[in-house]
Chain A
Amino acid sequence: MSLWLVFVGAGLLTFITRFSFIALAGRHCLPAWFVALLPCVPVAALTALVAPDLLLVAGNLSVGTDNPRFWAGLVAIGVAAWRRSVLLTISSGFAVLWVLRFLSGG
Protein backbone atom coordinates (compact mmCIF):
# COMPACT_ATOMS: atom_id res chain seq x y z
CA MET A 1 0.00 0.00 0.00
CA SER A 2 1.40 3.36 -1.07
CA LEU A 3 0.69 5.05 2.28
CA TRP A 4 3.15 2.69 3.95
CA LEU A 5 5.72 3.33 1.22
CA VAL A 6 5.43 7.06 1.92
CA PHE A 7 5.91 6.47 5.66
CA VAL A 8 8.95 4.24 5.11
CA GLY A 9 10.41 6.74 2.62
CA ALA A 10 9.80 9.67 4.96
CA GLY A 11 11.20 7.69 7.89
CA LEU A 12 14.34 6.72 5.96
CA LEU A 13 14.92 10.30 4.83
CA THR A 14 14.46 11.55 8.41
CA PHE A 15 16.89 8.95 9.67
CA ILE A 16 19.49 9.72 6.98
CA THR A 17 19.30 13.43 7.87
CA ARG A 18 19.94 12.69 11.55
CA PHE A 19 22.61 10.08 10.78
CA SER A 20 24.50 12.24 8.23
CA PHE A 21 27.25 13.87 10.24
CA ILE A 22 27.25 11.19 12.94
CA ALA A 23 28.13 8.68 10.20
CA LEU A 24 30.86 10.91 8.77
CA ALA A 25 32.56 11.78 12.07
CA GLY A 26 35.84 10.02 12.61
CA ARG A 27 36.04 8.81 9.00
CA HIS A 28 36.56 12.13 7.29
CA CYS A 29 38.26 15.09 8.89
CA LEU A 30 35.80 17.95 9.13
CA PRO A 31 37.44 21.37 8.56
CA ALA A 32 38.51 23.17 11.73
CA TRP A 33 36.37 26.26 11.06
CA PHE A 34 33.33 24.00 10.79
CA VAL A 35 34.07 22.22 14.07
CA ALA A 36 34.60 25.62 15.75
CA LEU A 37 31.06 26.63 14.77
CA LEU A 38 29.40 23.59 16.32
CA PRO A 39 29.09 25.03 19.87
CA CYS A 40 26.94 27.77 18.32
CA VAL A 41 24.45 25.27 16.85
CA PRO A 42 22.28 24.96 19.98
CA VAL A 43 22.25 28.74 20.43
CA ALA A 44 21.25 29.46 16.83
CA ALA A 45 18.89 26.52 16.23
CA LEU A 46 17.01 26.55 19.56
CA THR A 47 16.58 30.35 19.53
CA ALA A 48 15.18 30.06 16.00
CA LEU A 49 12.69 27.49 17.33
CA VAL A 50 11.55 29.71 20.21
CA ALA A 51 11.50 33.24 18.74
CA PRO A 52 8.43 32.85 16.47
CA ASP A 53 6.47 31.27 19.36
CA LEU A 54 7.09 34.36 21.49
CA LEU A 55 6.87 37.16 18.96
CA LEU A 56 4.19 36.13 16.47
CA VAL A 57 0.44 36.08 16.98
CA ALA A 58 -1.31 34.41 14.04
CA GLY A 59 1.71 35.16 11.86
CA ASN A 60 2.05 38.85 12.78
CA LEU A 61 4.70 40.45 14.96
CA SER A 62 3.17 41.48 18.27
CA VAL A 63 4.70 42.65 21.52
CA GLY A 64 1.53 44.23 22.91
CA THR A 65 -1.14 43.24 25.38
CA ASP A 66 -2.61 40.75 22.89
CA ASN A 67 0.50 38.59 23.15
CA PRO A 68 0.86 37.23 26.71
CA ARG A 69 3.39 34.65 25.47
CA PHE A 70 5.86 37.43 24.69
CA TRP A 71 5.72 38.81 28.25
CA ALA A 72 5.74 35.35 29.81
CA GLY A 73 8.75 34.48 27.64
CA LEU A 74 10.58 37.66 28.69
CA VAL A 75 10.07 36.83 32.36
CA ALA A 76 11.21 33.24 31.71
CA ILE A 77 14.38 34.53 29.98
CA GLY A 78 15.08 36.74 33.00
CA VAL A 79 14.48 33.90 35.43
CA ALA A 80 16.66 31.52 33.36
CA ALA A 81 19.50 34.07 33.36
CA TRP A 82 19.08 34.65 37.09
CA ARG A 83 18.65 31.12 38.42
CA ARG A 84 19.51 28.67 35.60
CA SER A 85 16.78 26.33 36.77
CA VAL A 86 14.56 24.60 34.20
CA LEU A 87 11.73 24.07 36.68
CA LEU A 88 11.76 27.69 37.90
CA THR A 89 11.91 28.97 34.31
CA ILE A 90 8.91 26.90 33.20
CA SER A 91 6.81 27.67 36.26
CA SER A 92 7.49 31.41 36.16
CA GLY A 93 6.65 31.51 32.44
CA PHE A 94 3.39 29.63 32.98
CA ALA A 95 2.52 31.77 36.01
CA VAL A 96 2.87 34.98 33.98
CA LEU A 97 0.96 33.48 31.05
CA TRP A 98 -1.94 32.43 33.26
CA VAL A 99 -2.09 35.74 35.14
CA LEU A 100 -2.14 37.70 31.87
CA ARG A 101 -4.78 35.42 30.35
CA PHE A 102 -6.85 35.82 33.50
CA LEU A 103 -6.48 39.62 33.48
CA SER A 104 -7.49 39.82 29.83
CA GLY A 105 -10.55 37.71 30.59
CA GLY A 106 -9.32 34.72 28.54
Chain B
Amino acid sequence: MGSRTAAFWLGVRALLPMHLGVMPFGVIYGIVALQSGIPPLAAVMMSSVVFAGSAQFLLAQLVGVGAPALLMIGATGLVNLRHLLYSASVAPMLERLPWRWKLLLSYLLTDEAYAAAIPHLLAAPASPFAHWILFGAGFALWAGWQLATLAGVLLGAGLPADWPLDFALPLTFIAIVVPLLTDRRRIGVALFAGAIAVVLAGLPYKLGLFCAAMGGLLLARLWPEKVVP
Protein backbone atom coordinates (compact mmCIF):
# COMPACT_ATOMS: atom_id res chain seq x y z
CA MET B 1 0.00 0.00 0.00
CA GLY B 2 2.52 2.58 -1.10
CA SER B 3 0.27 5.36 -2.30
CA ARG B 4 -3.31 6.47 -2.46
CA THR B 5 -3.77 5.19 -6.02
CA ALA B 6 -2.37 1.78 -5.06
CA ALA B 7 -4.71 1.67 -2.06
CA PHE B 8 -7.68 2.77 -4.19
CA TRP B 9 -7.05 0.01 -6.76
CA LEU B 10 -6.53 -2.54 -3.99
CA GLY B 11 -10.07 -1.72 -2.84
CA VAL B 12 -11.45 -1.84 -6.38
CA ARG B 13 -9.79 -5.21 -7.06
CA ALA B 14 -11.03 -6.69 -3.77
CA LEU B 15 -14.57 -5.74 -4.73
CA LEU B 16 -14.58 -6.72 -8.42
CA PRO B 17 -15.45 -10.45 -7.99
CA MET B 18 -18.57 -9.43 -6.09
CA HIS B 19 -19.92 -7.71 -9.18
CA LEU B 20 -20.71 -11.20 -10.53
CA GLY B 21 -23.34 -11.44 -7.81
CA VAL B 22 -24.25 -7.78 -7.43
CA MET B 23 -24.95 -7.11 -11.12
CA PRO B 24 -27.78 -9.66 -11.51
CA PHE B 25 -29.17 -8.47 -8.17
CA GLY B 26 -29.17 -4.85 -9.42
CA VAL B 27 -30.75 -5.80 -12.72
CA ILE B 28 -33.51 -7.72 -10.93
CA TYR B 29 -34.07 -4.75 -8.63
CA GLY B 30 -34.60 -2.52 -11.69
CA ILE B 31 -37.15 -4.95 -13.08
CA VAL B 32 -38.99 -5.36 -9.75
CA ALA B 33 -39.07 -1.59 -9.22
CA LEU B 34 -40.75 -1.01 -12.58
CA GLN B 35 -43.22 -3.82 -11.93
CA SER B 36 -44.17 -2.15 -8.63
CA GLY B 37 -45.17 0.96 -10.55
CA ILE B 38 -42.14 3.09 -9.70
CA PRO B 39 -41.35 5.44 -12.63
CA PRO B 40 -38.09 4.54 -14.44
CA LEU B 41 -36.27 7.73 -13.42
CA ALA B 42 -37.26 7.28 -9.76
CA ALA B 43 -36.19 3.62 -9.87
CA VAL B 44 -32.72 4.60 -11.13
CA MET B 45 -32.45 7.55 -8.73
CA MET B 46 -33.31 5.32 -5.77
CA SER B 47 -30.03 3.51 -6.35
CA SER B 48 -28.04 6.63 -5.55
CA VAL B 49 -30.45 8.25 -3.04
CA VAL B 50 -30.94 5.12 -0.90
CA PHE B 51 -28.03 2.99 -2.22
CA ALA B 52 -28.79 -0.17 -0.22
CA GLY B 53 -29.67 -3.30 -2.17
CA SER B 54 -31.95 -5.21 0.16
CA ALA B 55 -33.64 -2.03 1.40
CA GLN B 56 -34.35 -1.01 -2.20
CA PHE B 57 -35.97 -4.39 -2.93
CA LEU B 58 -38.12 -4.03 0.15
CA LEU B 59 -39.07 -0.44 -0.75
CA ALA B 60 -40.04 -1.52 -4.26
CA GLN B 61 -42.25 -4.28 -2.84
CA LEU B 62 -43.86 -1.93 -0.30
CA VAL B 63 -44.52 0.71 -2.96
CA GLY B 64 -46.15 -2.06 -5.00
CA VAL B 65 -48.60 -2.92 -2.21
CA GLY B 66 -49.24 0.74 -1.39
CA ALA B 67 -47.76 0.72 2.14
CA PRO B 68 -47.86 3.97 4.18
CA ALA B 69 -44.81 6.24 3.80
CA LEU B 70 -43.66 6.04 7.42
CA LEU B 71 -43.82 2.24 7.42
CA MET B 72 -41.64 2.16 4.31
CA ILE B 73 -39.02 4.42 5.91
CA GLY B 74 -39.14 2.47 9.17
CA ALA B 75 -38.73 -0.84 7.34
CA THR B 76 -35.64 0.54 5.58
CA GLY B 77 -34.18 1.45 8.97
CA LEU B 78 -34.71 -2.09 10.26
CA VAL B 79 -33.20 -3.74 7.17
CA ASN B 80 -30.14 -1.53 7.50
CA LEU B 81 -29.56 -2.04 11.23
CA ARG B 82 -26.52 -4.22 10.53
CA HIS B 83 -24.76 -1.18 9.07
CA LEU B 84 -24.45 0.12 12.64
CA LEU B 85 -21.96 -2.70 13.20
CA TYR B 86 -19.96 -1.92 10.06
CA SER B 87 -19.88 1.72 11.10
CA ALA B 88 -18.57 0.80 14.56
CA SER B 89 -16.06 -1.59 13.02
CA VAL B 90 -14.40 0.94 10.68
CA ALA B 91 -14.88 4.01 12.90
CA PRO B 92 -11.53 3.74 14.74
CA MET B 93 -9.64 3.60 11.41
CA LEU B 94 -11.38 6.71 10.06
CA GLU B 95 -11.17 8.68 13.29
CA ARG B 96 -8.60 11.23 12.11
CA LEU B 97 -10.07 11.92 8.68
CA PRO B 98 -11.73 15.24 7.79
CA TRP B 99 -15.53 15.33 7.82
CA ARG B 100 -15.89 15.23 4.04
CA TRP B 101 -14.15 11.83 4.03
CA LYS B 102 -16.29 10.55 6.89
CA LEU B 103 -19.44 11.64 5.06
CA LEU B 104 -18.33 10.12 1.76
CA LEU B 105 -17.21 6.80 3.24
CA SER B 106 -20.39 6.52 5.34
CA TYR B 107 -22.48 6.95 2.20
CA LEU B 108 -20.46 4.19 0.49
CA LEU B 109 -20.48 1.76 3.46
CA THR B 110 -22.33 -1.31 2.14
CA ASP B 111 -22.09 -5.03 2.98
CA GLU B 112 -19.87 -5.56 -0.04
CA ALA B 113 -17.56 -2.55 0.36
CA TYR B 114 -17.14 -3.36 4.05
CA ALA B 115 -16.38 -7.01 3.33
CA ALA B 116 -13.90 -6.19 0.56
CA ALA B 117 -12.01 -3.57 2.56
CA ILE B 118 -12.04 -4.91 6.13
CA PRO B 119 -9.28 -7.58 5.81
CA HIS B 120 -6.94 -4.92 4.40
CA LEU B 121 -8.00 -2.35 7.02
CA LEU B 122 -7.41 -4.85 9.84
CA ALA B 123 -4.01 -5.76 8.37
CA ALA B 124 -2.81 -2.15 8.26
CA PRO B 125 -5.06 0.03 10.45
CA ALA B 126 -2.44 2.74 10.84
CA SER B 127 -1.69 3.17 7.13
CA PRO B 128 -2.19 6.80 6.04
CA PHE B 129 -3.97 5.53 2.91
CA ALA B 130 -6.26 2.94 4.54
CA HIS B 131 -9.36 5.03 3.77
CA TRP B 132 -8.52 4.92 0.07
CA ILE B 133 -9.03 1.14 0.14
CA LEU B 134 -12.54 1.58 1.52
CA PHE B 135 -13.16 4.36 -0.99
CA GLY B 136 -11.98 2.15 -3.89
CA ALA B 137 -14.22 -0.73 -2.81
CA GLY B 138 -17.16 1.59 -2.10
CA PHE B 139 -16.84 3.45 -5.37
CA ALA B 140 -16.49 0.23 -7.41
CA LEU B 141 -19.65 -1.16 -5.85
CA TRP B 142 -21.52 2.15 -6.29
CA ALA B 143 -20.64 2.37 -9.98
CA GLY B 144 -21.55 -1.26 -10.65
CA TRP B 145 -24.83 -0.93 -8.77
CA GLN B 146 -25.85 2.17 -10.76
CA LEU B 147 -25.04 0.44 -14.06
CA ALA B 148 -26.89 -2.74 -13.07
CA THR B 149 -29.97 -0.80 -11.97
CA LEU B 150 -29.96 1.17 -15.19
CA ALA B 151 -29.64 -2.07 -17.18
CA GLY B 152 -32.59 -3.59 -15.30
CA VAL B 153 -34.76 -0.55 -15.95
CA LEU B 154 -33.77 -0.34 -19.63
CA LEU B 155 -33.82 -4.04 -20.51
CA GLY B 156 -36.82 -4.94 -18.41
CA ALA B 157 -37.78 -8.56 -18.01
CA GLY B 158 -36.02 -9.74 -21.18
CA LEU B 159 -33.14 -11.27 -19.23
CA PRO B 160 -32.68 -14.92 -18.25
CA ALA B 161 -33.44 -15.41 -14.57
CA ASP B 162 -32.02 -18.90 -14.09
CA TRP B 163 -28.32 -18.06 -13.88
CA PRO B 164 -26.99 -18.94 -10.42
CA LEU B 165 -24.59 -15.97 -10.55
CA ASP B 166 -25.97 -14.59 -7.28
CA PHE B 167 -23.97 -17.40 -5.65
CA ALA B 168 -20.84 -15.30 -6.29
CA LEU B 169 -21.72 -13.15 -3.27
CA PRO B 170 -21.77 -15.86 -0.57
CA LEU B 171 -18.67 -17.39 -2.18
CA THR B 172 -16.81 -14.08 -1.98
CA PHE B 173 -17.89 -13.58 1.62
CA ILE B 174 -16.60 -17.09 2.39
CA ALA B 175 -13.25 -16.18 0.83
CA ILE B 176 -13.13 -13.12 3.10
CA VAL B 177 -14.35 -14.66 6.37
CA VAL B 178 -12.46 -17.97 6.39
CA PRO B 179 -8.97 -16.39 6.58
CA LEU B 180 -10.22 -14.27 9.53
CA LEU B 181 -11.04 -17.42 11.55
CA THR B 182 -7.65 -17.53 13.19
CA ASP B 183 -8.55 -19.03 16.58
CA ARG B 184 -11.21 -21.14 18.31
CA ARG B 185 -12.96 -18.09 19.70
CA ARG B 186 -13.56 -16.61 16.25
CA ILE B 187 -14.62 -19.95 14.81
CA GLY B 188 -17.07 -20.27 17.71
CA VAL B 189 -18.40 -16.75 17.08
CA ALA B 190 -18.84 -17.51 13.36
CA LEU B 191 -20.63 -20.83 13.96
CA PHE B 192 -22.90 -19.28 16.60
CA ALA B 193 -23.81 -16.26 14.45
CA GLY B 194 -24.37 -18.51 11.43
CA ALA B 195 -26.64 -20.84 13.42
CA ILE B 196 -28.75 -17.94 14.74
CA ALA B 197 -29.01 -16.48 11.23
CA VAL B 198 -30.34 -19.80 9.91
CA VAL B 199 -32.83 -20.23 12.78
CA LEU B 200 -34.11 -16.65 12.52
CA ALA B 201 -34.02 -16.41 8.70
CA GLY B 202 -37.81 -16.24 8.65
CA LEU B 203 -37.95 -12.93 10.55
CA PRO B 204 -39.03 -9.93 8.46
CA TYR B 205 -36.80 -6.96 7.58
CA LYS B 206 -33.61 -9.06 7.80
CA LEU B 207 -33.88 -8.78 11.58
CA GLY B 208 -32.54 -12.33 11.88
CA LEU B 209 -29.28 -11.11 10.35
CA PHE B 210 -28.92 -8.32 12.88
CA CYS B 211 -29.83 -10.61 15.82
CA ALA B 212 -27.31 -13.19 14.57
CA ALA B 213 -24.49 -10.66 14.36
CA MET B 214 -25.37 -9.34 17.84
CA GLY B 215 -25.55 -12.92 19.17
CA GLY B 216 -22.09 -13.65 17.75
CA LEU B 217 -20.72 -10.52 19.40
CA LEU B 218 -22.35 -11.49 22.71
CA LEU B 219 -20.55 -14.82 22.55
CA ALA B 220 -17.30 -13.01 21.76
CA ARG B 221 -17.88 -10.81 24.82
CA LEU B 222 -18.41 -13.83 27.09
CA TRP B 223 -15.51 -15.82 25.64
CA PRO B 224 -12.27 -14.30 26.96
CA GLU B 225 -9.70 -13.64 24.29
CA LYS B 226 -6.51 -15.65 24.68
CA VAL B 227 -3.67 -13.25 25.38
CA VAL B 228 -0.79 -13.98 23.03
CA PRO B 229 2.42 -14.03 25.12
Contacts and interface: CB of A to CB of B under 8 A. Distances in A.
A77 B111 CA distance: 19
A41 B213 contact: yes
Given A19-B87, A90-B20, A40 B189 contact: yes
A105 interface: no
Mostly, the A contact residues are helix
B179 interface: yes
A34 to B, nearest CB: 8
Contacts of A11: 49-51
Contacts, number: 249
A44 B225 contact: no
B52 to A, nearest CB: 5
A4 B42 contact: yes
Given A17-B77, A43-B180, 11 more contacts: A9-B73, A13-B76, A14-B50, A25-B95, A42-B122, A47-B190, A48-B209, A50-B177, A51-B194, A55-B194, A97-B167
26 contacts: A4-B42, A6-B72, A7-B49, A13-B80, A14-B77, A19-B106, A25-B91, A33-B221, A34-B88, A40-B189, A42-B118, A43-B189, A44-B192, A45-B86, A46-B176, A47-B177, A47-B216, A48-B196, A49-B111, A49-B197, A54-B170, A76-B171, A77-B178, A81-B181, A86-B175, A97-B167
